Amino acid sequence: MGNDVVLVLVVITALGFDFTNGFHDTGNAMATSIATGALGPRTAVALSGVLNLVGAFLSLSVAATIASGLVDTGLVTLTVVFAGLAGGIIWNLLTWLLGIPSSSSHALIGGVIGSTIAAAGGHAVQWHDLFSKVIIPAGLSPVIAALVAATGTWLLYRISRNMTDGARGHGFRIGQIGSASLVSLAHGTNDAQKTMGVITLALIVNHTIGATATTPFWVILSCGLAISLGTYMGGWRVIRTLGKGLVEIEAPQGMAAESASAAVILLSSHFGYSLSTTHVATGSIIGTGLGKKGAEVRWNVAGRMATAWLFTLPSAAVVGAGAYALAHAIGGDAGVIVDLVILIGIAALIYVRSRGSRVGHDNVNAEWTGSVAPAEDTVTAEPAAA
């Protein structure tokens, strides 16, 4: 048996990452439904949380890819996994503070790759697989999602053009609830598995389970619960950017966006690509802006996101490498514990900063004025009904 103290810390940190993954990504599924009023903000996050939990049990094929596909597991230690998770968490929290929907998957993969390079050198990373399974699909997926969503949006407006606005909005809001639920399910299937994969990797590295063992049930359950709880917390800052910042969304667009996202995510995981749900959802929302005549896409907001996406892998990698270097310099259990204390400190600091410009269920739909946090006077006002 390996080091069980560090193993427990790794599992806790992994579940912590899973939690940030949940609240960072609530918006992928629910932002458009909240923006159009199809679901009340709190109902939306509760529904999404439950469906994420269900989704976690649906399939286990992505977990295997993460556990063994990207780095040489023979060269990975528990400290490497821990430092990688730290990199992922810090990047997730920073982008959440800025209200940028960046990819939790890339943050996790970047963190693990960074700490692996710091520990064992570049040859421990399976670069070809990293490009063909992660980076190239990440570039293509938003474009495909945008194409599908734009087509869907055009069709929906075309088909329903003779209906009254009221009847149309009513029907598509119902459709939106269904399609957003599917995205939540897909998110649980896709993203909860990534953490399951990391915990499985840690268990294999620690020789707690054999190298060919399947993911234990308690791992599936705890990951499902952590992501579900995180989702329920509602990453309101990110929801606001996606639902209000990018495109002004009406019910038909919302339904088209969520349908496109669900289809692309589920199809890709069928082919074993652990796509970023964030990239897909953002691509879809931009697509609905392109597919509707007269709709405006705020390209400056989209550009800010795309920039953050480019930085996600390398930035998380740098943090992951730094965390490994520090833990390694101190050495042993103490090194990991010092890292953990610093990680908690940074997380607390980011949380305190976020209180200065709070976004919650009460002001998430306030008029977009160019910033994540609504202007002060709109905070107290009722959210606009329109």
Partner 1 sequence: MNSWINLTALWQIVVVGLLAGAGLPALFAIGMVALSQKGGRVQTAGADGQDADTLVGGSVAGMIASAVCFLIVLAAIGWGIYAIYQAGHPHK
Q: Which residues bind partner 1 (CB under 8 A)?
A: 58-61, 128, 131-132, 136, 140, 144-145, 147-149, 151-152, 155-156, 159-160, 162-168, 170-172, 175, 178-179, 182, 185, 189, 214, 252, 255-256, 259-264, 266-271, 273
Amino acid at 250: E
Q: Could you give the residue ranges of the DSSP H alpha helices within 37-135?
A: 41-56, 61-68, 78-97, 104-120, 127-129
Tell me if 32 sits within 8 A of 104, measured CB to CB. no
Report how far residue 344's alpha carbon sits from residue 294's, in angstroms, rounded to the nearest whole number: 46
Across-strand partners of 297? 247
Tell me if 135 sits within 8 A of 313, measured CB to CB. yes
**Nearest alpha-carbon partner for 85 in 153, 30, 156, 6:** 6
Report how far residue 314's alpha carbon sits from residue 312's, in angstroms, rounded to the nearest whole number: 6
**Nearest alpha-carbon partner for 310 in 138, 153, 145:** 138
Three-state SS string over 333-360 comes to: HHHHHHHHHHHHHHHHHHHHHHHCCCCC
Q: Can you read off the two tokens belonging to residue 263?
A: 């289809």
The per-residue b/e assignment along 20-56, b for 16 or more CB within 10 angstroms, e otherwise, is bbbbbbbbbbbbbbbbbbbbebeebbbbbbbbbbebb
**Nearest alpha-carbon partner for 60 in 203, 200, 248:** 200
Total Cβ atoms within 10 A of residue 376 = 8
Three-state SS string over 141-172 comes to: HHHHHHHHHHHHHHHHHHHCCCCCHHHHHHHH
The two counts, helices (H) then strands (E), for the chain are 15, 0
With 0-12 CB in 10 A as exposed, 13-18 as middle and 19+ as buried, what is 221? Answer: middle
Q: Which is nearer to partner 1, 7 or 62 (CB)?
A: 62
Q: What angle do CA 59, 288, 385 make, to 5 degrees?
A: 100
DSSP state of 295: -
**Nearest alpha-carbon partner for 16 in 361, 355, 346, 375:** 346
